[in-house]
Chains A and B, each alone.
Chain A
Amino acid sequence: MHYLAITTPTLQRSLTVLAGICLTILLIQLADRIQPRSYTFRWKNISSRFQLRVIWMSLGAIIVITILVGVGLIVGDYPIPASKAIATALWDRNGEYDFIVNSLRFPRIIVAILAGMCFASSGLIFQSLINNPLVSPDIIGINSGAAVLAVAILAAGGNIAYLPYAAFLGALLTAALIYLLSWKRGISATRLVLVGIGINAVLGAIITYITIKYPIERVVAAARWQAGTLFGATWDDARTLSIGLLLLLPPAFFLTTRLRILQLGDETAITIGSKIERDRLALLAVASLLAALAVSVVGPLGFVALIVPQAARLLLGSITGGVLIFTALLGGFFLLGADLIAQRLFAPVMLPAGVITATFGGPYFLYLLARYNRAN
């Protein structure tokens, strides 16, 4: 049975996607027009510096996300008039579309945004901390840690209710193991990455072993989970993610100043008076928790954590608290957009969002990279 025949996207859908892509490129071009000015805010002994560009672009990201939320509520297999869809989502709890909008579409949208935020901010912290553009939670094995336990449960036919907890636990245990194994009178970035690669390889081997050991019907469920999907997201997932983000993003925001000091190099950071190992541990813990949280809900969606922080840094420069917020928003936008495309472009076949993040995110990123190269 070949699926390409029934999955050819209609012209209208392709055009919509194309229009969306053109719109974002236009927005990026517009962002260039903003003057790189910064303002200082002072109130009693609290002071802070704002870059105008970061604020405008974050606002822009919020607006684009809001539009996408609207689109996500309206489009779907079951046609719902636009006004009814928005009304049902916002105030009308007794309408005839209540189930579809409020139980199927809305939670999925919210989960997509929140998970994207988790992945992107986690990736940004990892990349800045290790100072390597190729590092992300999936390369040093945190996603594989989640996947090993999850795939084992899926392939061996365990209770699916435990899946998120197992994934969360797996990710955290792996992060702790990597940290312990790379500790040798302190943590060095190279050692951390290499130990991470090693752990990732072992876990990957176990996953492959499970994949070829169990019957194909169960393996396919595991493969789907590994691709990362938002199918069947519930309000409970959204609640988990939002509580996690509320707890983790503020510390991450304030730790960015420590991170900037660490980026000066260990010697300089110590001279300034920074407790480097404590800061590093705190940053790694926050980033790992963010990744573990997202993986446990939506599976190891690899590409977001790798590419979104890159894109944000190409647009705004190196990490600050503002850039972290923008990166998180960009991650939310990216995953939501990818999920909408994954659901609708090849309907009725629904692809996992993880497939689309790579296919559509890749060219975007190449565009940003080419633009950046031309500018320099």
Chain B
Amino acid sequence: MITIALIFSAITIAPILAGLLSNRRDKETGPFITNHILGLTVSLILVIVIVLISLRFGSLEITWRTAWNAIFNYDTTNQGQIVVRELRLPRTILGLAAGSCLAVAGALTQGITRNPLGAPGILGVNAGAAFAIVTAIYAADIVSPEGYVWFAFFGAAGASILVYFIAQFGGGGATPVKLALAGVVITALLGGWTTSLLILDLETLDEARFWLAGSIASRGTDEIAVLFPVIVIALFLGISLGNQINILSLGEDIAISLGQRITTIRIAAGIVIILLCGSAVAIAGPIAFVGLAIPHMVRSLVGPNYRWILLYSLFLGPCLLLGADVIGRLVVRPTELQVGIVTAAAGAPFLIYLVRFTKLSDV
């Protein structure tokens, strides 16, 4: 317990201290990263390194050689290799998928709502998924991770479609402020229902609290495999929207006078966000922090251009999620900390650090 506390406080305090000390370093001229070929290569290498670390480290101690053999030279009798193949590899893939989905969806959400608090969660995604799953546990006694996947996906999608629908009312279509407010209201509505079920029914709380913490361990891999084509297509579409989001972020009036069909762009981005968030929630449960923080971190590094923000988010989202997952496996061996807990605890100090360290550009 004390070790965890120490590690946590070290992770938490170090960047904050560095941030406090770094007051004099102030980049007033341009973003931190300007050479994007180098920047993207470094990001890619970072992803690969974290994937390797994720395969190598866990509650069972193995060597690098075992991890290597498990991938390229599989021996079904070796316990270490089985662990890598059957547990760590799926988990790593899920982490990659969930991390990139959340980060790209977060960047898109901030782009179309033009609000620094814009995160997939604000469109009611997490609340919708939690609502569907808690109701499923309560009413139908569904207690298997395989069963959660579809409830989460459709709960998330349903909630965000509802948010769009409500924001559409009145004049002007789904404007950023209306979208955000409708999202807040729907989130609160669904949250109220979820909370009341959780506190009325002890068994539901007992079952759901682990899913609600967010984790990528032992999820229903077969069900999630169905989602992968969806994820790939949605990621591709989302990143290709970068230029349009740039124009939209100049403001509605300018975007219209530049000839942009803002309604079409908003709906397209909305569909991509719903697909990405639905998949991410189905994979990992409600992980709130990645979608919110990664775009801000990236923005403080590369400036306000959404083409780059989206691309870097694609790489750095999985880094945060997988990195957090590895930390979660290691700090409390032989048990684990849920990745949802560690992402926030380890990622937030970096967010604060970047916010203090760099010049902020507006959303």
Contacts and interface: CB of A to CB of B under 8 A. Distances in A.
| Chains A and B are bound partners | yes
Given A205-B344, A209-B341, A219-B205, A224 B12 contact: no
Contact of A216 (B188, B192, B205): B205
Task: State which size class the interface on A falls in.
Answer: 35 or more
Contact of B117 (A195, A197, A227): A197
B206 interface: yes
Contacts of B288: 201, 204
Nearest to B361: A190
Interface in B143-191: 166, 169-172, 177-178, 180-182, 184-186, 188-189, 191
A182 B351 CA distance: 12
Given A198-B355, A201-B293, A303 B188 contact: yes
A199 B181 CA distance: 23
Contacts of A193: 116-117
B345 interface: yes
Nearest to B342: A205
Interface stretch (A39-47, A288-296, A365-373): A365-373
Given A134-B122, A355-B195, A359-B193, A205 B355 contact: no
B60 interface: no
Given A181-B356, A198-B355, A212 B348 contact: no
Judged by DSSP, the binding face of A is helix
A185 B28 CA distance: 14
Interface string A355-367: 1111101110110
A370 B170 CA distance: 6
Contact of B351 (A2, A198, A363): A198
B278 interface: no
Interface stretch (A14-22, A89-97, A346-354): A346-354
B23 interface: yes
Contacts of B91: none
A349 B200 contact: yes
Given A198-B355, A205-B341, A212 B210 contact: yes
Interface of B is mostly: helix
A191 interface: yes
Contacts of A182: 355-356
A306 interface: yes
Nearest to B138: A2
A357 B181 CA distance: 16
A19 to B, nearest CB: 22
A64 interface: no
Contact of A366 (B182, B198, B347): B182
A227 B180 CA distance: 23
A359 B198 contact: no
A356 B170 contact: no
Nearest to B356: A184
Nearest to B1: A213
Contacts of B23: 184-185
B142 interface: no
A268 interface: no
Contact of A197 (B178, B205, B292): B292
B351 A197 contact: yes
Contact of B181 (A133, A188, A211): A133
B16 A194 contact: no
B202 A216 contact: yes
Nearest to B172: A373
User: Most chain-B Cβ atoms within 10 A of its Cβ — which of A139, A185, A194, A357?
Assistant: A194
A376 B352 contact: no
Nearest to A349: B200
B96 to A, nearest CB: 22
Nearest to A189: B116
Interface string A302-321: 11001100100000000000
B130 to A, nearest CB: 13
B356 A227 contact: no
A359 B193 CA distance: 7
A351 B19 CA distance: 44
Contacts of A217: 202
B195 A205 contact: no
Contacts of B75: none
26 contacts: A1-B201, A2-B138, A2-B201, A181-B20, A181-B352, A194-B355, A195-B355, A197-B117, A197-B348, A204-B288, A205-B342, A208-B340, A223-B198, A227-B195, A307-B184, A351-B200, A355-B195, A362-B185, A363-B189, A365-B185, A369-B182, A373-B169, A373-B170, A373-B172, A373-B178, A374-B170
Q: Ordered nearest first, which 4 A-B pairs have the shortest CB separation?
A: A373-B170, A358-B192, A358-B188, A205-B344
